[in-house]
Amino acid sequence: METLDIIRNINRLPATQQMLIAERIIHSIRQKEQSSMEVAAEHLYADYTTDENLTAFTQLDCEDFYEAR
């Protein structure tokens, strides 16, 4: 079944079923996106904790922050 066929079949359904399908698709996409972001963060964790270029500003973590006006 091609994309156009799927869309035509969905359009034949009542609006409530169309909304349910749309919600499930969006939920599925968000899960995949979240999963891929978690995997990327895990791969880069060592860099985030040991690379001096990425950790240079952690020395300022205990410093008070004053907004410049």
pLDDT in tens, the chain (69 residues): 799 999 999 999 999 999 999 999 999 999 988 888 888 888 888 887 888 887 777 777 776 777 777
Residue 41 tokens, joined: 């963060």
User: Residue 54 has which token pair?
Assistant: 């990425």
DSSP 51: -
Residue 23 is predicted with a pLDDT of 96
Does residue 66 come out as left (phi exceeding 0), alpha (psi in the -120 to 50 range) or beta?
beta
pLDDT of residue 48: 79
Q: Report the C-alpha gap between 35 and 31 in whole angstroms.
A: 6
Q: Do the beta carbons of residue 10 and residue 2 sit within 8 Å?
A: no
